[in-house]
Structure 1
Amino acid sequence: MYPIPQPALTPNSLAYESRPLVKPTGFREYDARWLFEKEINLMGVQALGLGLGTFIRRSGVRPEIVVGHDFRSYSSSIKYALISGLMAAGMKVHDIGLALSPMAYFAQFALDVPCVAMVTASHNDNGWTGVKMGMERPLTFGPDEMARLRDIVLAADFDLAPSGGYVFVPDFAEHYIADLLERPKLTRRLKVVCACGNGTAGAFAPRVLEGLGCEVVPLDVELDHTFPRYNPNPEDMKMLHAIADTVRASGADVGLGFDGDGDRCGVVDDRGEEIFADKVGVMLARDLSAIHQGATFVVDVKSTGLYATDPVLKANGVKADYWKTGHSYIKRRVSELKALAGFEKSGHFFFGAPVGRGYDDGLVSAIAVLDMLDRNPGRSLSALKTALPKTWSSPTMSPHCDDEVKYRVVEAVVAHFASAKANGEPVAGQPIRDLNTVNGVRVTVEDGTWGLVRASSNKPELVVVVESPVSEPRMREMFAALDGVLRDHPDVGAYNQTI
């Protein structure tokens, strides 16, 4: 009988080497994340593989799975521990080696394999690891699946089976790159800064952009799992500033920044100005809805209000659906609504047919931006951005809040604003016009200024975003109002960045 996973074990001890360590909070809403060696050990990863294989087989899904890993010093060993558990549970494993997350999703289609487990900590700091999982392409697990998987793993309720197997798929990246380039080249010779933060995308993104006909200016494309300059995270202002400096110095048409596992893309315009991903989404929605009139776009609650108010999108008959933040939520919603695309403020973009296959791929997002420029030969990216109605937006701001208490804090914040609306109490000096509580609380006041508070799904943090269509001072007033409520909770700590 397999040992019951433990929530904590002392390192460098007999117990640590003979029992699985699996901290329960590592099972997030739509994937799994742990601090390796502190919250999960290799035997704990093996237990995760046993649990995932058991869950898949009990669900009646064909027991075959694609597995890949990102470029971190420990990801390969974690992947093989996961594989050992999957095989013991009767899964046939198709190992594609070093990969981007979207490469693993693509492999489900290209290899006709129903399930996926991608070992990646995405943009998290070194020390973190995780697994993105799914068994219904192009979807990944949501809260229900993650809860069932958690219960199986923590109870060691495993079904062992002798039918597991292993196949290594050589040079799979070549198939992925060829699929992206199976299209006409761009008609414009665009100069593109390709920034990878020394993460996994550096092995693949420059080749794809060159294959499209771009002149590529490489920035931190050498793979280095120490991430010597900054984390590969296109929401991080350090990375965006580095891209902006390189765009200005090189005279590039656009800067594109990819996160650690390549499923997100950040954008900097030709003037070296960062464009938050939700505004990029509005620009792409304008471009695509001109071709596909009446299209539906799913957007997360952190995103700009322009999806609902932009006159061009209205004229093109666009339907905007504000939904829960999280790649699994948006991906599933895009599939349910048969939407043309889904956009997250974090930079996860999901393109449905005929643009994509429904999963998030930073390179597909980059290609969509380049196609938009190609379809507007007389206009720069900054001109396309300037054509949007003006709003003042914050970056994503994340105050620390422990995993054990963050949802409770958010529930209290939701209750506070619900009470304020019911009692006619103003927020940031104005009455509340709308409350969206599909994911935390999004408070919109009379002049359209809004603020969001929600719990992060993959880190011990809250998420705060504010925007105003009126002025920067109004944006700051909304932030002060939200932060004032958060400061009533001692469990809420310092921000990673603020306005």
Structure 2
Amino acid sequence: MFPKPLPSLTPNTYDYESLPMVKPTGFREYDARWLFQKEINLMGVQALGMGLGTLIHELGVRPEIITGHDFRGYSSAIKYALVSGLMAAGIRVKDIGLALSPMAYFAQFALDVPAVAMVTASHNDNGWTGVKMGANRPLTFGPEEMGRLKEIVLSAAFRLQPGGTYEFVENFAARYIADLTDRPKIKRRLKVVAACGNGTAGAFAPQVLEAIGCEVIPLDTELDHTFPRYNPNPEDMKMLHAIADKVRETGADVGLGFDGDGDRCGVVDNEGEEIFADKIGVMLARDLSALHPGATFVVDVKSTGLFITDPVLRENGVKADYWKTGHSYIKRRVTELNALAGFEKSGHFFFNAPIGRGYDDGLVTALAVCDMLDRNPDKSMADLYRALPRTWGTPTMAPHCADEIKYEVVDRVVKRFESVKAGGGAVAGQKIRDLVTVNGVRVVAEDGTWGLVRASSNKPELVVVVESPVSEERMREMFKAVDGVIRENPEVGAYNQTI
């Protein structure tokens, strides 16, 4: 009999070393995230493994799973605690060791294993841990599976059984790298900055880019789990500024930045301009739809309106589907619609055949960017960016809001904008043309300027993004209006970054 997990325990006590601790809010919409030692302990991770194993049997999936871990000082210990729980639940574990999240997803195909549990906190700051899980490749869990997993773990409703085994898969990274690089080299000699923020991607990204024919300029590629310069997050302006500086210093053709577990890629052009990922998505959609006219692209609600209005995409017959933010949601939608690709403003890109296997891989995105430049030998990255219709957009901004209250706050914000629209009122000086409430609220003014507010799926934050096709002034007016509604809620704190 395994004890029922407790929501909190005091470290450095008898109970902390004798009982499982699992804070309920760590079970998020499509993966799990906790502050290690403050919100979950190793015995709690063991309980998570037993719960995941129980759920796998419940789903009727063959009881085999891929595990791996990212480069943080505590990730391997967490993985082995998870593995012990999985084995207790009768799961046969294949461990690929230190890995990127997409390497674990690839292993599901390469080793013919149905389930995956990748130990990673992705782009979260040090101190965080988490698990990205799935049992139906290339998909990862959504709210239904995460809700059931939470129920099993917190009630200790484990079904423990014999049959669990452990196998370490040696040198699996070489197999992953070979899969990415077994292709023709690019013809254009590209000088590429590969920035990894001292995270896991530093062990893999430079050699993959070199293997396809790029001249690679490494930036913070040495593995260092203290992340001494900045958090490896290509949505973070500090990382983007560092890439831009290196591009200008070296005269590189492009800068590519990878997050902590390598499933996202950020891009800086040859002039040092930091291009938000949704605009990169439009550029890639232009390039790919020329090869695949009439293609469907799924994009998240944080993304630019250009996927609908861009004249080149319209001419190529592109169908754009705006969907919920989150790697699990977009991945699932790409599969459902058999879309060519899915793009998130965060830098998660999902490519279906013939480019990828439907899951998010920052290195596949990097290769797609290099191929786009290779197919346009007379144009620079800056030329391709300038060819897009001009819009003025903010970075992703995140005001603090506790996990326990953030969804309620967003519901209040949605109702507030619905009330304004119903009453014929104005937002940022104009009437509301549209409200998109598939994920939080995206309020669109008559001139196309829009602002989004939603709850972060993996951190105690709200998410705010604003864009205007008219002017920077209109963008700022919309931000002021949206922020004004947010500030009606005293539970909302300071932004991580703002305009």
Q: Give your verdict on TM over 0.5.
A: yes
CA distance in 1, matches of 2:8, 2:87: 26
CA distance in 2, matches of 1:12, 1:497: 35
Measured after TM superposition, the shift of residue 320 of structure 1 is 0.4
Measured after TM superposition, the shift of residue 97 of structure 1 is 0.1
Measured after TM superposition, the shift of residue 446 of structure 1 is 0.3
**Is residue 86 of structure 1 aligned with residue 99 of structure 2?**
no
SS in 2 for 1:283: helix
Query: What per-residue deviation string (whole Å, max 9, x for no partner) do you get for residues 76-128 of structure 1?
Result: 00000000000000000000000000000000000000000000000100000
Measured after TM superposition, the shift of residue 406 of structure 1 is 0.2
Measured after TM superposition, the shift of residue 10 of structure 1 is 1.0
Structure 1 equivalent of residue 96 of structure 2: 96
Query: What per-residue deviation string (whole Å, max 9, x for no partner) do you get for residues 434-458 of structure 1?
Result: 1000000000010000000000000
CA distance in 1, matches of 2:338, 2:356: 12
Structure 2 equivalent of residue 214 of structure 1: 214
Q: Which amino acid aligns with 1:421?
A: K
Q: Which amino acid aligns with 1:469?
A: P
Query: What per-residue deviation string (whole Å, max 9, x for no partner) do you get for residues 116-175 of structure 1?
Result: 000000010000000000000000000000000000000000011110001100000000
Structure 1 equivalent of residue 137 of structure 2: 137
SS in 1 for 2:451: strand
**Is residue 484 of structure 1 aligned with residue 484 of structure 2?**
yes
Q: Which amino acid aligns with 2:220?
A: D
**Is residue 263 of structure 1 aligned with residue 263 of structure 2?**
yes
CA distance in 2, matches of 1:4, 1:75: 24
Alignment of 1:277-426 (within 5 A): 277-426=277-426
Query: What per-residue deviation string (whole Å, max 9, x for no partner) do you get for residues 364-398 of structure 1?
Result: 00000000000000000000000000000000000
SS in 2 for 1:249: helix
Q: Which amino acid aligns with 1:131?
A: V
SS in 2 for 1:54: helix
Structure 2 equivalent of residue 495 of structure 1: 495
Structure 2 equivalent of residue 455 of structure 1: 455
**Is residue 47 of structure 1 aligned with residue 47 of structure 2?**
yes
CA distance in 1, matches of 2:298, 2:58: 32
**Is residue 465 of structure 1 aligned with residue 465 of structure 2?**
yes
Alignment of 1:121-200 (within 5 A): 121-200=121-200
CA distance in 2, matches of 1:184, 1:16: 54
Measured after TM superposition, the shift of residue 219 of structure 1 is 0.2
Query: What per-residue deviation string (whole Å, max 9, x for no partner) do you get for residues 464-488 of structure 1?
Result: 0000000000000000000000111
Measured after TM superposition, the shift of residue 353 of structure 1 is 1.0
CA distance in 2, matches of 1:127, 1:443: 35
CA distance in 1, matches of 2:355, 2:417: 39
SS in 2 for 1:431: strand
Structure 2 equivalent of residue 433 of structure 1: 433
Q: Which amino acid aligns with 1:4?
A: K
CA distance in 2, matches of 1:477, 1:311: 27
Structure 2 equivalent of residue 243 of structure 1: 243
CA distance in 1, matches of 2:353, 2:181: 17
CA distance in 1, matches of 2:215, 2:10: 52
CA distance in 2, matches of 1:217, 1:207: 11
CA distance in 1, matches of 2:451, 2:52: 38
Q: Which amino acid aligns with 1:455?
A: A
SS in 2 for 1:125: coil
CA distance in 1, matches of 2:238, 2:398: 16
Q: Which amino acid aligns with 1:153?
A: V
CA distance in 2, matches of 1:462, 1:7: 23
CA distance in 1, matches of 2:373, 2:489: 46
SS in 1 for 2:426: coil
Gaps of 5+ in 2: none
Query: What per-residue deviation string (whole Å, max 9, x for no partner) do you get for residues 279-320 of structure 1?
Result: 000000000000000000000000000000000000000000
CA distance in 2, matches of 1:305, 1:94: 43
Structure 1 equivalent of residue 62 of structure 2: 62
SS in 2 for 1:342: strand
CA distance in 1, matches of 2:10, 2:243: 42
Q: Which amino acid aligns with 1:383?
A: D
Gaps of 5+ in 1: none
CA distance in 2, matches of 1:224, 1:448: 44
SS in 2 for 1:67: strand
SS in 2 for 1:150: helix
CA distance in 2, matches of 1:13, 1:162: 32
CA distance in 1, matches of 2:332, 2:250: 40
SS in 1 for 2:430: coil
Q: CA RMSD in A?
A: 0.3
CA distance in 2, matches of 1:229, 1:454: 29
CA distance in 1, matches of 2:150, 2:94: 24
Q: Which amino acid aligns with 2:127?
A: G
Query: Which 4+ residue blocks in structure 1 deviate beyond 6 angstroms?
Result: none
CA distance in 1, matches of 2:289, 2:9: 54
TM-score normalised by structure 1 residue count: 1.00
CA distance in 2, matches of 1:160, 1:401: 37
Q: Which amino acid aligns with 2:166?
A: Y
SS in 2 for 1:267: strand
Query: What per-residue deviation string (whole Å, max 9, x for no partner) do you get for residues 218-256 of structure 1?
Result: 000000000000000000001000000000000000000
Measured after TM superposition, the shift of residue 338 of structure 1 is 0.2
Measured after TM superposition, the shift of residue 270 of structure 1 is 0.2
SS in 2 for 1:138: coil
CA distance in 1, matches of 2:11, 2:372: 52
SS in 2 for 1:193: strand
Measured after TM superposition, the shift of residue 58 of structure 1 is 1.1
What is the number of equivalent residue pairs in this alignment? Answer: 499
Q: Which amino acid aligns with 1:21?
A: M
Measured after TM superposition, the shift of residue 35 of structure 1 is 0.2
Structure 2 equivalent of residue 120 of structure 1: 120
CA distance in 2, matches of 1:461, 1:471: 28
Measured after TM superposition, the shift of residue 14 of structure 1 is 1.1
CA distance in 1, matches of 2:422, 2:199: 48
TM-score normalised by structure 2 residue count: 1.00
Query: What per-residue deviation string (whole Å, max 9, x for no partner) do you get for residues 396-419 of structure 1?
Result: 000000000000000000000011
CA distance in 1, matches of 2:322, 2:58: 34
CA distance in 2, matches of 1:405, 1:292: 44
CA distance in 1, matches of 2:416, 2:451: 14
Q: Which amino acid aligns with 1:437?
A: T
Query: What per-residue deviation string (whole Å, max 9, x for no partner) do you get for residues 21-54 of structure 1?
Result: 0000000000000000000000000000000000
